[in-house]
């Protein structure tokens, strides 16, 4: 009795933004859905490794699951999708294929399935890879989440953008020249996915004359949070859940 997108009996796939780490930064809507959805899927890291490139790695196994905590309905069916290290594209794709197939089974039986996502599901979220595999066959909805960028800015009381400022969200994985070009075209910037790209990023910020203005934020709003001026950071690499904020005119008022 498989059901599809045209079939009112089929379930919905719902990406649930879990925010940056503090469980209180979940929205009322996501909390309500966690308490009611019969099936909850989450990504589970197969091989956690510090400094690796994906959200399923970096020792962050099940972060979104941890944020959701016991807000999840007690009798919900949990689907843990085992995700190998991101560097292996083919293995990653196979893991998403397998996860999407398991989710599709529940959707076809008429059950709504929530997918737990760190931060916001559509901002560098792995939800997109599941959604791409299930769109067209099933209805898809998204509950937006608090991003690590706004959470880090909040902890610093650092304005991200005002008046005619533009703000760029830039993955540190880009080549050095591209990082410089994108920073040059913005008033404020948040660099994500820092990992082993920290030295490259320091060079880019120094060349732009912004190294002394940059803030480093690790695990924003979590118990292990670290916040310091980038110039005071001695580390050579950073975990996946870290970011650097900088603004040409901005000063933190913290």
Map residues 75-114 to x or -, x wherever contact with its own copies holds by CB under 8 A: ----------------------------------------
CB of 59 to its own copies, least distance (A): 21
Of the pair 35, 77, the CB lying nearest its own copies is at 35
Which C-beta is closer to its own copies: that of 1 or that of 89?
89
Tokens for 89, please give them: 């594209």
Closest CB to its own copies among 11 and 17?
17
Nearer to its own copies, 26 or 238 (CB): 26
Binding mask 142-171 for its own copies (x = CB under 8 A): xxxxxx--xx-xxx-xxxxxxxxxxxxxxx
Q: Is the dihedral of CA 24, 238, 99, 136 positive or negative?
A: positive
Burial 40-71 (b: 16+ CB within 10 A, else e): bbbbbbeeeeebbbbbbbbebbbbbbbbbeee
Name which of residues 208 to 247 contact its own copies (CB under 8 A). Answer: none
Q: Give the nearest distance from C-beta 214 to its own copies in angstroms.
A: 16
Report the nearest approach of its own copies to the CB of residue 201 (Å): 13
CA distances from 176 to 86, 124, 172, 182, 194 (A): 21, 20, 9, 10, 13
Residue numbers 118-147 binding its own copies by CB under 8 A: 120-124, 128, 131-132, 135-136, 140-147
- Residues 67, 73, 79: CA angle, nearest 5 degrees: 70
Taking the complex as a whole, the smallest distance from the CB of residue 17 to its own copies amounts, in Å, to 8
Place of tokens 């706004």: 150
Site for its own copies in 170-199 (CB under 8 A): 170-171, 173-174, 181-182, 184-186
**Residue for token digits 């780490």?**
21
Question: Distance (Å, rounded) from C-alpha 49 to C-alpha 24?
Answer: 28
Residue 118: CB atoms within 10 A of its CB come to 30
SS3 147: coil
> Would you count residue 206 as binding its own copies (CB under 8 A)?
no
Per-residue interface string for the shown chain with its own copies, residues 12-41, x marking contact by CB under 8 A = ---x-x-x--xxxxxxxx-xx---------
Give CB contacts under 8 A, 24+ apart, made by 162-167. Answer: 165/247
Distance from CA of residue 115 to its chain's centroid?
13
CB 169 within 8 A of CB 182: no
Applying CB under 8 A, the site for its own copies has a residue count of 60
> Rule CB under 8 A: which residues touch its own copies?
15, 17, 19, 22-29, 31-32, 120-124, 128, 131-132, 135-136, 140-147, 150-151, 153-155, 157-171, 173-174, 181-182, 184-186, 253-254
């Amino acid at each position: 009795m498989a059901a599809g997108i045209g079939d009112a009996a089929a379930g919905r796939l719902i990406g649930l933004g879990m925010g940056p780490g503090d469980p209180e930064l979940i929205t009322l809507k996501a909390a309500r859905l966690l308490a009611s959805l019969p099936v909850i899927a989450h990504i589970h890291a197969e091989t956690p490794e510090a400094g690796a490139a994906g959200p399923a790695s970096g020792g962050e196994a099940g972060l979104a699951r941890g944020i959701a905590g016991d807000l999840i309905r007690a009798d919900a069916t949990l689907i843990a999708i085992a995700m190998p290290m991101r560097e292996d594209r083919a293995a990653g794709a196979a893991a998403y294929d397998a996860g999407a197939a398991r989710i599709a089974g529940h959707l076809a039986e008429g059950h709504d399935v929530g997918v737990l996502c760190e931060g916001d599901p559509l901002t560098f979220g792995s939800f997109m890879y599941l959604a791409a595999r299930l769109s067209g066959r099933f209805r898809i909805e998204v509950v937006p989440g608090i991003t690590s960028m706004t959470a880090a800015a909040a902890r610093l009381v650092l304005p991200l953008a005002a008046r005619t400022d533009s703000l760029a969200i830039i993955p540190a994985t880009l080549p050095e020249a591209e990082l410089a070009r994108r920073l040059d075209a913005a008033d404020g910037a948040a660099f994500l996915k820092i990992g082993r790209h920290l030295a490259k990023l320091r060079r880019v910020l120094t060349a732009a004359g912004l190294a002394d203005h940059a803030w480093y934020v690790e695990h924003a709003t979590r118990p292990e949070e670290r916040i310091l001026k980038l110039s005071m950071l001695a580390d050579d690499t950073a975990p996946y859940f870290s970011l650097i904020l900088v603004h040409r005119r901005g000063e933190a008022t913290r």
